[in-house]
Structure 1
Amino acid sequence: KVLNSIEPQMVLFLMNALYFKGDWTTSFDEKKTSDYPFRLANDQTKNVKMMHLKSELSFANRDGYFAYELPYGNGRYAMTVLVPTGTRGVNELVTKLTADEWHQLQQGLKKVENLQIGLPRFTLEYEVYLNEVLKKMGMPTAFIPNVADLTKINKAGNLNVGFVKQNTFVAVDEKGTEAAAVTTIGIELTSLPQTYYADRPFVFIISEKSSDTVLFMGKMVNPS
């Protein structure tokens, strides 16, 4: 639900929606989903519904984190899961994840046979008002009555932007991912016997592979 109420002074809403629903190329077996300890940011643990998969997947071991890629359908879209390692935390990983690091990660992902991974089943909902962010980015006057210039919409010039809000929803389960946002190289085969579980706060990115366009990016600190 994007709008809970409409104030009398509101005369127009501009809404931009992005919706994604994808089934994993190789789905998780629901029978293998089990309770598994997840280490929270405060070093406490909680049991989460951990999905398990053993398959040929793209994997990379980077400085401070490892990553694996879960493709959807024919592989055009994918979710990349990035899990901090050692003493690194998820916030350090987010800071490290520049456009250059993302590009290097894409180049470093290599196919691995029989990679065993774990991913919590989770649902994420997020809402944020972007007024202050947009003001700091260079558009403060749009929010000021009698100063904003929206005469292309109304020649009387008596309009201003009241708010800009973004709502995001992501649900991940054994079959695939449903996500929505509304804003108001050669292949190498190796063998790694280790298991790579997202059992601590992690980053996930849903992207379109051919254009390397990031559609959704999130930080999961407490799966539910």
Structure 2
Amino acid sequence: MSIFNLAWLLAGLCVLVHCHHIPIDFQADNQYSLVGHQNLPHLKIAPGNIDFAFKLYHEVALGAAKKNIFFSPLGISTAFSMLALGAKSHTLSQLLSGLSFNQTEITEQEIRENFRALLEHLNNPSRNIELTLGNALFIDEEFKPLKKFLKDAKYFFKSDISHTNFNNSEEAEEEINSYIKKKTNGKLVDVVKGLDAEVVTVLVNYIFMKAHWKNPFNPSNTQEDYFFVDEHTTIKVPMMFRNGLYYTYHDTDLSCQVAVLPYQGTTSAFFVLPDPGKMKQVEDALGRELFLKWLNSLREQRINLHLPKFSISTKYVLKGILRRLGITDIFTNEANLSGITGKPDLQISKAFHQTYLNVHENGTEAAAATVIEAVPVSLFPIMKMSRPFLMIIFESNSQSILFMGRITNPNEN
């Protein structure tokens, strides 16, 4: 049996500086709520993608007890939905179920068309945010995929297609790594190493995001402070500070605070700070219903916000994680990927995911141009990210979770 190697590489960069507020629907009581765009063609896959994001988080967290977690659920869903173009029979239904698509409510064709519309929406340069999300297929020169598979990959998933000499593994690795480096603005280099001898195809998924805070942190307010990794470990971190208006919510049921920091356009970061000792309680409850509850409960108020300045990089081998979600056939001889070649003679040998995140203040010039409100900060509630917290980067018009994770140690890269 040939091996179809899904060397699935996701590169996520978030450089956070200044920007406009995300679109919100202002209620009389200053409630934050999702802007309704129910007629948009990509919203039918949103519930499945959100469910998959939280299911994936739970599985990733199983193997990362006290480690940082950061990944792009949308990138993973996009890559494997593209792979579904070539899946047949039980392998296809298993893939779609594992990706949280209810096959009684949405058809395979609708999933493809919704992803095409979603990619067009997110890659639109007029959105005032630097965000690129796409795919690439590197195909061995002697391997002949079906024309329909290549055509659909390009049409529905905006995939670049390159013919590569996998007989020269060093040359193939260099070609793929150069592509990834270019698509991630140089943030991920030498990602592919040690390609399997029987590789015939490598699928790459990438996502690059550069966004800016609406209200930047003044660098002169950043000071070294303590971060409590756990009850036994304390470290020092550069802690940013800003007093301002934010949409927040105190979830008394789960003992955590939620605050939304807006970026440019329609993207925002949700920071969730569990009370001491309550991280597992919050993580266990994570899901679409809880996230919608937080969205509908947010209220605008002035707070003193303290947030670490940090940079982290993560990498995951997805095989075990996805198998626990029920996606098993594609990694075995039971795989039916005959939609790629016309024959059920392929299986996935590898699937992995890599991201990079950088959170910092805005530059001094932009910060100086920001109006700093002269108010006695001691009068306002404090939200200080001085212990492990969750971060969810959300695009409201498509209702997509672009990235999510847990920051346990801001100094651990």
Residue 207 (structure 1) aligned to one of 378, 383, 394: 394
Amino acid at match of 1:81: F
Deviation string 1:28-72 (CA, Å, 9 cap, x unpaired) is 111111101111123421111101011111111112011111100
Find the aligned partners of 1:28 and 1:122 in 2 and give their Cα distance: 14
**Secondary structure at the counterpart of residue 282 of structure 2:** helix
Matches within 5 A, 1:97-108: 97-108=286-297
Any gaps of 5 or more consecutive residues in structure 1? 177-190
Q: Is the 8 A contact 1:208 1:215 kept in 2?
A: yes
2:252 maps to 1:69: no
> With structure 1 as the length reference, what TM-score do the two structures score?
0.84
2:352 maps to 1:165: yes
RMSD of the TM alignment (CA)? 2.0
Report how far residue 156 of structure 1 moved.
5.0
Amino acid at match of 1:210: N
Find the aligned partners of 2:287 and 2:329 in 1 and give their Cα distance: 30
Report how far residue 163 of structure 1 moved.
1.3
**Secondary structure at the counterpart of residue 323 of structure 2:** helix
Amino acid at match of 1:214: I
> With structure 2 as the length reference, what TM-score do the two structures score?
0.47
Any gaps of 5 or more consecutive residues in structure 2? 1-188, 364-376
Q: Considering fraction of residues, name the structure with more strand.
A: 1
Find the aligned partners of 2:399 and 2:348 in 1 and give their Cα distance: 33
Q: Which residue of 2 aligns with 1:84?
A: 274
Q: Which residue of 2 aligns with 1:93?
A: 282
Deviation string 1:66-101 (CA, Å, 9 cap, x unpaired) is 111110024x1111111112x433232211222111
Find the aligned partners of 1:8 and 1:49 in 2 and give their Cα distance: 46
Find the aligned partners of 1:79 and 1:153 in 2 and give their Cα distance: 38
* Deviates most, 25-34 or 96-105: 96-105
Find the aligned partners of 2:327 and 2:217 in 1 and give their Cα distance: 45
Find the aligned partners of 2:408 and 2:245 in 1 and give their Cα distance: 27
2:332 maps to 1:144: yes
Residue 224 (structure 2) aligned to one of 35, 38, 43: 35
Report how far residue 24 of structure 1 moved.
0.3
Identity of aligned residues (%): 23
Find the aligned partners of 1:204 and 1:48 in 2 and give their Cα distance: 18
Q: Which residue of 1 aligns with 2:213?
A: 24
Find the aligned partners of 1:140 and 1:209 in 2 and give their Cα distance: 32
Amino acid at match of 1:158: D
Aligned length: 206
Find the aligned partners of 1:201 and 1:97 in 2 and give their Cα distance: 16
**Secondary structure at the counterpart of residue 153 of structure 1:** helix
* Compared CA separation, residues 17 and 65, structure 1 to 2 (3 A): same
Residue 321 (structure 2) aligned to one of 119, 130, 133: 133
Amino acid at match of 1:142: I
**Secondary structure at the counterpart of residue 393 of structure 2:** strand
Report how far residue 102 of structure 1 moved.
0.9
Find the aligned partners of 1:136 and 1:48 in 2 and give their Cα distance: 36
Find the aligned partners of 1:205 and 1:175 in 2 and give their Cα distance: 20
Q: Is the 8 A contact 1:89 1:201 kept in 2?
A: no
Q: Considering fraction of residues, name the structure with more helix.
A: 2
Moved over 6 A (4+): none
Find the aligned partners of 2:245 and 2:381 in 1 and give their Cα distance: 13
* Compared CA separation, residues 200 and 136, structure 1 to 2 (3 A): closer
Amino acid at match of 1:62: D
2:8 maps to 1:8: no
Q: Which residue of 2 aligns with 1:111?
A: 300
Q: Is the 8 A contact 1:51 1:118 kept in 2?
A: yes
Q: Which residue of 2 aligns with 1:54?
A: 243
Amino acid at match of 2:200: V
Structure number with greater Rg is 2
Matches within 5 A, 1:173-188: 173-175=360-362
Q: Which residue of 2 aligns with 1:179?
A: none
